[in-house]
Structure formats: structure tokens, C-alpha cells
Amino acid sequence: MPPRPFVNDALWRCLCPGFPPHATALQATRAGASTLRNHQPKRNNPRPQCQSRAYSATASTTSPNSFVQPHIPTPTSRPQFTNRPLRHGREKPPLVHLPTHILYEDLRLEGSKGHFEEVMKICNVLVKDRGQRPDKEMYAAILHSFTSSTDGTAGKVRKVLEEMGFWTDGADPSVSGRVDLDVRGCENVLEALAVHPDYLLRAEILEYMKERWFTLSDRGHNFVVAGLLRERLFEQALEMLEDLSRKKVRVEDWVFSEAMWLLLEFGEVEEAFYVLGLKESAMGMDTAGAAYGVKLSNALWGALLDAAAKQQLHDAARIVWTTQVQPGYLKPPTGTCLSVLSLASRHGDVQLATDVFRLLTERETIFNTHHYELLVAAYLKANALSDALSVILIMADANLKVDAGTCHPLFWYLRNAPPPPPSTSPDGEEEQISMPLHAFTLLQDFEAQGRKVPTAAINCCIQACIAINSLPSALDIYKALHTVSPSGPNTETFNLLFRGCAQAGRKDLAMFLANEMISLNLQPDRITYDRLILVCERSDDIDDAVNYFEEMRAAGMRPRRGTYERLIDRLVEKGDERCVGVLRDYRESGELVSQGAERRVRERFEVQDENWDKGIVVGG
């Protein structure tokens, strides 16, 4: 429908005397009218749309009340803009030009933002220019502005309360000039004290509210908890959080987050997860499927996971991992992943350990021996011996060094684990084998599948046999070693067998193994000579023991402290004068010589002090 035409009659000329006399009607489209409304300047007291006018600078020169109908652009014409700068939408007029009720609204808004300077400016305008007396609205805004971390302090809050006439000594509340503190003012004080904690002032405010039957809102409860947390009163804060959760009082997310951050900062990891449980219960969820609905920042989730892993809290770390890391919501750093992997290895959580490997593989992490050792420990803790051995073989395939240290968790498992279920022999009889022999059988199966078996894994089986005093089983493994490991035995293999010979007093077997070692061109080390000395000493062959000692010293190696002590004691017992030379060498080694050994040598042989260092025997 076209717009109605303007009727240029007497009433129109009376209402609009500045209207051009020859104008009859203006046709305006809806698009032109909307453009006009968009470009019209805003006023404090807008007129009705049908009487909107624009002030003309040219017309004002002839008549102060002259108005012209603004030009409405047609669809084919472009709007004409003057060079007059337009006021930006965010610019605010001066405070003195605002009405009083608007000033009070701005006062409350600036106070909630913590803008102390702006609050004081508005208060000055209200008091000096508008003649307003200081009231509770002004003081409430001032107290609220003290939530600023730079402009507010607990001392400033006290000073304002004293200016209001706030006290708790039972004074007459009708004292002239006193401004009562209402509920809003009390909660503003509690909010300020949550930023600048003051336990005594908070207690006075809460007592003041209790005396006047003021109900503390949910917002106020949150500020009280935050203040207790800032004061490191964690027990009281947690008790209050638990009470609020039980009473279905709304606790804001930032309070839960602040509680968890502070508890983690002070090493209270279990309490931090307890707060997480309170948040879950407040949301009506259980711990098993809660973390999908609990909203925490990724930084806080990462801190919870890292702290739980370092504190060895398996259940807590697993919940965070399965609900945040596995779905892809959280990407923990590599250090946290290693902590979680160590946690999984200690508790035998194979699923968690393998998932950590999955995440590290996606990052193209270069795995080293440390990563695989933790995975082996996880499988052993879960009694998955075959999988643990498979990981060791994977290390060998990856050209990673597999030595006794790498297989040390395997040794402890084979030593302490109960024997496997008895197997049935071809004759139909049940055979009970030890756990080290069972592990060696698994290694034989892997070798039959074409896997590369390192010698260190077989040595671990031999070491476990020696630890459980099963020297025959260790010899059986040694005899079949070359069929499983292509590299054959090494010096460590013979050292372990020599230890078994020393325990069993089998010098003949030790000499046979020594010849085997020479035939294989394996060089003896310190442990080799040390255990050969012990084998001879326990077999009561002192001459061979001293000969191995001299050969060892000629090679630039020294026996261990215990071997020194045993050799000296046996020489003293036999009355052999060579104990003086052994004792002198013992003193030169830098080891702490026991007073008993030196005293026994002095008592058995009369040794002069000036000749002691030379090892010369002067009487016997």
C-alpha cells in the first residue's frame, strides 16, 4: 500500500511553520524510511516516529524554531552525509548530564566491575552536584569496587565500614549519620574479602547478618568458601563445600576450580579429586561416567592428571585419562604421559600403558629403552609373561640395548612368581617346572617363530634359577642357550654360573666353566675373578684362591670388599703369612677396612708398625 500523502492545510502549517509552502507530498519507500531511521541521531527524549525531525543549520539562521523535513533518499539516489562527526555508539556523555537514576545504575555497574575510580567520580557528582546524602547504595558500590586486585584491600573495607558507622558493640543504630549495612552491602563485603582475605572481618560480617536475620544467598556462600580457600583453611572450606552440596545450594564453577587449583598447588591431590567428586555429585552424576559432563578447563584437567600420576593415584589418573585423553579432549604433554606410563607399570594396568604408547606413537615419539622397560613391568605386574617377553624381543628387533638392567623386572618376577600349572609330558605324566624354565620354554617358542632372542633374556632365566638355588636348571638352560640365542653365552652368563658354583661349593664345575669361557675367547672381568676366588675359598683351596687374587691384581682389578674380608679371614685361620700382603692391598684400595680384620692379623702375626705398610712379616 502506498504511503498516505501529506495534506498541506492550515493545521499542517501551524504545526510545521518552516515547512516549504510548495511541497505537496513526499513519496518514500520502506527501504528509504529504514535508512533514515538508521542515520537519525539518538536523543535522550525521542519523539514519536511520525514526528521525527532533523535540525537544519541553514534554516536556524532565519528562525530558531524552523525545522525541515529530512531528505528521504529514493531507491535510485544515494544518501548525502554531511561532514559533521557522528558520536560513537560507545562514547558516554559526561556524568553531569546524566539523570540521577542513570547515575545510580552506572554506580552499581562500575562497582560490580571493580572500578574504584569511576565509582568515586559518580559519588562526587551525586553528593556535590545533585545534593544527595551518602546512602547505602553509594557505600555498597564502593565496597563492591574493592574486589579489584589493585585498588582494594581488607583495610580499605574496614575503613569504609567505620565511616558507615558499622560496629558490633551494641551501639544505638539510630545514631546520626550512620548508614545501615544491608544484605547487598554485606555480600559485597564478603566478595571483597574473597579477594583480600580477612578472617576476623568475615566473621564479624557473618555474625552481623545472623543478628539481623539476613539470609546468606548462594552467591554469598560462594564468596565465603572462596575466602576460606584464599586463607588456606582447606578443611573448613571442604566441610562447607560438602555441606552446600548436601543442601543442594548452587556452587559456582569458579569456586570448584579455585579449590582444585589451590589444593593441587599445596600438594593435596586427593582432596582436589574429592572436590571434583563434590562437583560431580552437585551435577547429579556418579564418578564412573561423570567426567564427560563436568566442565573444567584443559589446563586444570592436565594438572589433575599430572598430579595423580606423580602421586601414584591409579584410580584418579585412570578416570581422567579414559574420560578426557582417550576421546581426544585433552592432549597431555610427554612428561605427563611418562608419569602415567610409570603409574600403569606399577599397578599392572596394561590397557592404560598400551594407550599411552598409542598416544606417543601418534606424536611420532622415538621410543627408547626406558619406555619399553615400563611396558614390560606393566605386563609382568599383570602376570602376562609371554607379552612381557615379546616386548623384550621387540626391543631387540629395534636394535635397542637389552642388558641385565633392562631385564631386571623380569628377574624379580621369575624369582618371586609362583610356578606355572603342571604340564603333561608325552608319557601322560604331569611335570612341574619352575618359572625360570617356563620363561626359557617361551623364549624357545619365540625363536622357533623366527624371532631374535637376546642373550640377556636367557641370562635372566639363569639368574632366577641361581636365586632359587636351582643350579641344575641353570645348567640345563646354559646347555640349550646356543640353540635359542645365535650370539651364544657371554661373560655375564658365566659370572652367573660361577655364583651358583660358589653357593653350591662346586669347584670342579667352576673349573669346567672357566675352561669353557677360555675356549669361547671371552675375557674375564672383575666379577669373574671375584667369584672364582669365592669358589676356591669355599672349597678350602686357599692356594688357588690366592693365585686368582694375584692374577686379578696383575690385570689391574680388585675384588669386592666382602671378598677381601673372607680371603683374609681364611688366610688368618690357616696361619698363612700371605694375609699381610692381602691386608696391605686391601688398605691401599681405598675401601674402609674393618677393625676386626686388621686386629686379627695383628694378633696372629707380630707385625712392627714401621714395616706394616711394606707388608713384611717379622714373626709368626
Helix (H, G, I), strand (E, B) or coil at 424: strand
- Of residues 353 and 101, the one with the higher pLDDT is 353
CA distance to 27, 29, 31, per residue, from 1 (Å):
12, 10, 14
DSSP of 387-429? HHHHHHHHHHHTT----TTTTHHHHHHHHHSPPPPPEEPTTS-
CA-based R_g, the chain, Å? 45
pLDDT digits (tens, 9 = 90+) for 51-70: 333 333 333 333 333 223 33
Question: Given a cut of 50, is residue 109 above it in pLDDT?
Answer: yes
Residue ranges of the alpha helices (H) in 480-560? 481-484, 491-504, 507-519, 526-538, 542-554
List domains and CATH numbers for the chain: 1-80 (no CATH), 95-290 (1.25.40), 564-620 (no CATH)
d(CA 443, CA 388): 11
CA distance 37 to 40: 5
E-strand ranges in 257-404 read: none
Separation CA 59–CA 68 (nearest Å): 8
pLDDT tens by residue, 493-527: 999 999 999 999 899 999 999 999 999 999 999 99
From CA 237, how far away is CA 232, in angstroms rounded? Answer: 9
Greatest C-alpha distance within the chain = 152
What is the distance between the alpha carbons of residues 298 and 287, in angstroms, rounded to a whole number?
19
Q: Is the dihedral angle over the CA atoms 132, 135, 140, 143 positive or is it negative?
A: positive
Q: How far apart are CA 298 and CA 323, in angstroms?
A: 12
pLDDT of residue 23: 42
Angle (CA) 266 272 273, round 5°: 150
Alpha helices in 94-251 (DSSP H): 100-112, 116-124, 136-145, 154-164, 183-195, 199-211, 218-230, 234-246
Percent of the chain exceeding pLDDT 70 equals 78
Name the E strands within 402-507. Answer: 423-424, 430-431
User: Which of 7 and 168 is assigned the larger pLDDT?
Assistant: 7
Q: Grid coordinates 582475605 are at which residue? A: 197
pLDDT digits (tens, 9 = 90+) for 177-191: 678 888 898 998 999
The share of the chain scoring above pLDDT 90, in percent, equals 45
Q: In whole numbers, what is the pLDDT of the chain averaged over residues?
A: 80
- Cell 686368582 found at: 548
- Using N-to-C axis directions, what is the helix angle for 183-195 and 218-230, rounded to 10°? 30
Contact 214, 190 (CB under 8 A): no
Q: What is the DSSP string of 436-468?
A: HHHHHHHHHHHHHTTPPPPHHHHHHHHHHHHHT
DSSP H helical ranges for 40-89: none
Query: How many C-beta atoms surround the C-beta of residue 22 within 10 A?
Result: 6
Give the C-alpha separation, 307 to 301, whole Å: 10
Find the angle CA(52)-CA(54)-CA(57) to the nearest 5 degrees: 160
Amino acid sitting at position 128: K
Q: 3-class DSSP state for residue 431?
A: strand
- Kindly indicate the confidence band of residue 367, based on its pLDDT and cuts at 50, 70 and 90: very high
- pTM equals 0.72
Distance CA 451, CA 437 (A): 19
How would you write 487-502 as a 3-class SS string? Answer: CCCCHHHHHHHHHHHH
